[in-house]
Amino acid sequence: MKRFTQVVMMCLAPVAFGQTNYTVNAQASSWSPNDLTIDLGDSVTWINNNNGSHNLNGTTATFAANPESFSMLTTGTNWTFGKRFNVAGVYMYRCNVHAAMMTGKVTVVDPSLGLGENTASTITFGPNPANEVITIQTKATDFNVVIYDMAGHQVLSENLKNKNELNVSSLKQGTYVIEIRAEGTIVQDKFIKN
């Protein structure tokens, strides 16, 4: 009976989880594509075959809001790394060698929730790029915003209560990761400070 149950579960696994594999290629100093939206259970294969020296860092030590860690931290050329995503959420990653410019994002959605139930789409921010202030649009009246530099260091954190504007004038020009925690959801995206 145990063997029969294992066989049935193996046959049902492709039905329960996505089966699509996406490929991300390492370029001279960027990922192509650098922004993917995939279904729960799909996988991504990163390929570095351009003879450039790269690695892949999607650890929670670097990106605290990632639902789980993934990495290929040995820097080198001509490598392939694959990951199946079985936890929904937003995953940020980078090449440590080119951290300021070689970043990417994988958004994993659970198709069983349906588009109407995706609360992440109800949280937005702008302008992006911004000079002084970011306005956050959400139904929540009390939420947290954290901004990380591309090295994964927290550079700004604020609890916004009964207001929706965040002053970013103290940040240096560059690319950052903004994390908004509201409505029981975490939204993480790239943000550019002019």
Residue 16, helix vs strand vs coil:
helix
User: Rounded to an integer, what is the distance from CA 140 to the centroid of its chain?
Assistant: 22
Res. 6: pLDDT tops 90: no
Task: Give residue 47's pLDDT band: very low, low, confident or very high (50, 70, 90).
Answer: very high
Res. 13: pLDDT tops 70: no
Question: Does the pTM exceed 0.75?
Answer: no
- Tally Cβ neighbours within 10 Å of residue 33: 12
Q: Which residue has the higher pLDDT, 121 or 33?
A: 33
User: Rounded to an integer, what is the distance from CA 78 to the centroid of its chain?
Assistant: 24
Q: What average pLDDT does range 139-148 have in this prediction?
A: 88
Superfamily of domain 2-114: Cupredoxins -  blue copper proteins (2.60.40.420)
In tens, the pLDDT along 169-184 reads 999 998 888 888 887 7
Res. 14: pLDDT tops 50: no
CA–CA dist 25, 115 (Å, integer): 29
CA–CA dist 120, 109 (Å, integer): 10
11-15, 61-65, 90-94, 180-184: the lowest-pLDDT one? 11-15
All CATH 2.60.40.420 domain ranges of the chain, comma separated, are 2-114
Q: What is the mean pLDDT of the chain?
A: 83
15, burial (CB in 10 Å: exposed 0-12, middle 13-18, buried 19+) = exposed
Of all residues in the chain, what percent carry a pLDDT higher than 70? Answer: 86
CA–CA dist 85, 47 (Å, integer): 17
Give residue 146's identity as a one-letter amino acid code.
Answer: V
Q: Give, in order, the Cα–Cα distances in Å from 159 to each of 90, 143, 149, 166.
A: 21, 6, 18, 9
- pLDDT score of 4: 42
Res. 18: pLDDT tops 90: no
119-193: which CATH number, 3.40.50.2000, 3.30.910.20, 2.60.40.3080, 3.30.420.40?
2.60.40.3080
All CATH 2.60.40.3080 domain ranges of the chain, comma separated, are 119-193
Give residue 86's identity as a one-letter amino acid code.
Answer: N
Task: Give residue 149's pLDDT band: very low, low, confident or very high (50, 70, 90).
Answer: confident
In tens, the pLDDT along 101-125 reads 899 999 888 777 654 334 445 788 8
Q: Give, in order, the Cα–Cα distances in Å from 128 to each of 10, 77, 121, 134.
A: 45, 34, 16, 8
105 close to 91: Cβ distance less than 8 angstroms:
yes
148: Cβ–Cβ under 8 A, 6 or more apart, which residues?
63, 64, 154, 155, 176, 177, 179
